[in-house]
Structure 1
Amino acid sequence: VPPFDRDAMMIEADLLVDWYVPAISGSPASDSLRAGYHKQWNALLDRLQGREVTLMLRDFHSPNIIWRGDRSGHDRLGIVDFQDALIGPCAYDVASLAMDARVTISPEIEKQTLDAYVTARHAAGAFDEASFLESYAVMAAQRNSKILGIFVRLEKRDGKPYYLKHLPRIRDYLRRALSHPALASLREFYDAHGLLEERAL
């Protein structure tokens, strides 16, 4: 299984500057904005070095989870759309589930989901909770930045405008992720360039 490495993370994160920035500004992202964006993200990805990795499905959210009530135990859960699985940060799929791109997850339910995972990990043995929570914030910010770009691309390139209705939810998730102290500099960058402002497209 291939790794979800820095190059892959940056290719995904770049979808925001490739598609979302032009959509909100009316012109392509400037070289200086792109360079600043890369500087911010590379600094954050440096923090993930040496962190725990695992098999990550990458689209682990409600549309891809099937409830099988006639089964028992873990077999009650079916999973589809895992063909793009990679080896990467264990926090990624947790962020994907707790910040579902197509279903609004309240901060309270997000916290319950996160707490359930953290509790289970502590029960299973040694677990660095602080490092995990930082990785969770980084991966949540990366994923939601990517999704802003993807949903605009689906409208602009593929003629699927109904994805735009999800953008306010994704911006809200992004604000939540950026509230982690480790992401303060990235939050300032996004604010300075109007990337978190509510706007109609």
Structure 2
Amino acid sequence: MTPPPAARGFLATHGWGAADIVPLAGDASFRRYFRVVDAGRSAVLMDAPPPHEDPRPFVDIARWLHERGFAAPAIHALDLDEGLVLIEDFGDDRMREAIDADPVRALPLYRSAVDILIGLHQQPQAVLPPYDRAVLHREANLLTEWYCPAVGIDADQAGYSAAWDAVFDVALADVPVTVLRDYHAENLMLIEGGGLGLLDFQDALAGHPAYDLVSLLQDARRDVEPEIERAMLAHYTCTTGADAAFDAAYHVLGAQRNAKIIGIFTRLWQRDGKPRYPTLCPRVWRYLEQDLAHPALAPVADWFAAQVPPSHRGDPMAIAGR
């Protein structure tokens, strides 16, 4: 977590030359974050190094959200050639830790997070690529590309693709909305004024409104109590007038997202040397199995029943080590 060589010059150019640079965190990508502190003020330096990362989508969506009254971090300065962005500092109080410290806060915080989505979905979509059938397939295939080989399964890829293709119609929105795509308790910050600040939306696409809701309520990184998932799904549907088709889309997109995450977490272990991620897979498998029980997922559920036995559902690192 050493700051990139260009960081000092970039900060000096924008009035932060005397600031201390303190490592914050990396994430599952090549991006890294540093807190920049100077004389009682602070900001966050994002290092999104090209060619691995391109900060422009983050900047564009941050500005789009900010202009519409959503709490995305303000952009203070940027250098696209170096992949450096200086953004507003939302502090360290994440929704996840707030709930872990005081579970009584879970319901109101999740309700606030759902209300943000309701407001976002009332906006005309941002100018974004579509979350279309091709993207849904490509993401779902991460499970057969990474997880299945890791646990010794020679998967029926043709049958897998056909099963998903049979269910994706309900996951394609008639009126697409802005989908932030990584909307969960570790990317929601408790900020001044009592609101929630938004992070990690650089991969936004135009797609179905159920996607971010299932991202929030089937959180790969923490257990969301079933009663909270049911209550928040009911709150969203009652407020927006969503119907049974929305419920089907919620579970289809939940299954698709969870299959994708299992593949990504396996890849992070095998390709990128990050062994903590496969330990999260048992939780994601529980969500996936919950979604597969919905009637709309029958073809996909049949494929999993035939191809991935219960003994091969879990932590791929542990299963591979047996």
Q: Give the TM-score normalised by the residue count of structure 1.
A: 0.88
Say yes or no: does 1:101 pair with 2:228: no
Q: 1:110 aligns with which of 210, 213, 229?
A: 229
Other structure's SS at 1:139 match = helix
Q: Which residue of 2 aligns with 1:191?
A: 305
Deviation at 1:191, TM superposition (A): 1.2
* Gap change, CA 1:52 and 1:172, over 3 Å in 2: farther
Deviation at 1:51, TM superposition (A): 3.7
Aligned partner letter, 2:149: P
Q: Which residue of 2 aligns with 1:90?
A: 209
Q: 1:35 aligns with which of 144, 158, 161?
A: 158
Q: Segments of 4+ in structure 1 off by > 6 A?
A: none
Other structure's SS at 2:283 match = helix
Residues 172 and 208 in structure 2, CA contact (< 8 A), matched pair in contact too? no
Give the gaps of 5 or more residues in structure 1: none
Distance 1:98 1:64 in 2: 13
Distance 2:193 2:173 in 1: 38
Alignment of 1:35-54 (within 5 A): 35-49=158-172, 51-54=174-177
Q: Which residue of 1 aligns with 2:188?
A: 65
Residues 172 and 207 in structure 2, CA contact (< 8 A), matched pair in contact too? no
Aligned partner letter, 2:290: R
Task: Decide which structure has greater strand share.
Answer: 2
Q: Deviations over 1:56-113 (max 9, x none)?
A: 0000011111111x315xxx11101111110001110000000011001122221122
Say yes or no: does 1:149 pair with 2:272: no
Q: Which has the higher contact order (CA 8 A, sep 6+)?
A: 1
Distance 1:54 1:23 in 2: 35
* Gap change, CA 1:187 and 1:177, over 3 Å in 2: same
Distance 1:135 1:106 in 2: 21
Distance 2:310 2:204 in 1: 29
Q: 2:295 aligns with which of 172, 181, 184?
A: 181
Distance 1:106 1:159 in 2: 31
Q: 2:179 aligns with which of 33, 48, 56?
A: 56
Distance 1:92 1:196 in 2: 26
Deviation at 1:195, TM superposition (A): 5.6
Distance 1:168 1:195 in 2: 14
Aligned partner letter, 1:170: V
Residues 251 and 291 in structure 2, CA contact (< 8 A), matched pair in contact too? yes
Aligned partner letter, 2:145: D
Q: 2:196 aligns with which of 63, 72, 77?
A: 77
Distance 2:244 2:175 in 1: 12
Distance 1:150 1:172 in 2: 16
Other structure's SS at 2:151 match = helix
Q: Which residue of 1 aligns with 2:134?
A: 7
Q: Deviations over 1:6-36 (max 9, x none)?
A: 11111111100000100111x6x45xx0000
Q: Give the TM-score normalised by the residue count of structure 2.
A: 0.56
Distance 2:169 2:275 in 1: 36
Identity %: 42
Residues 64 and 80 in structure 1, CA contact (< 8 A), matched pair in contact too? yes
RMSD: 1.6
Task: Decide which structure has greater helix share.
Answer: 1
Question: How many equivalent residue pairs?
Answer: 188
Other structure's SS at 1:87 match = strand
Other structure's SS at 1:66 match = strand
**Bigger Cα Rg:** 2
Distance 1:112 1:12 in 2: 28
Distance 2:175 2:157 in 1: 29
Give the gaps of 5 or more residues in structure 2: 1-127
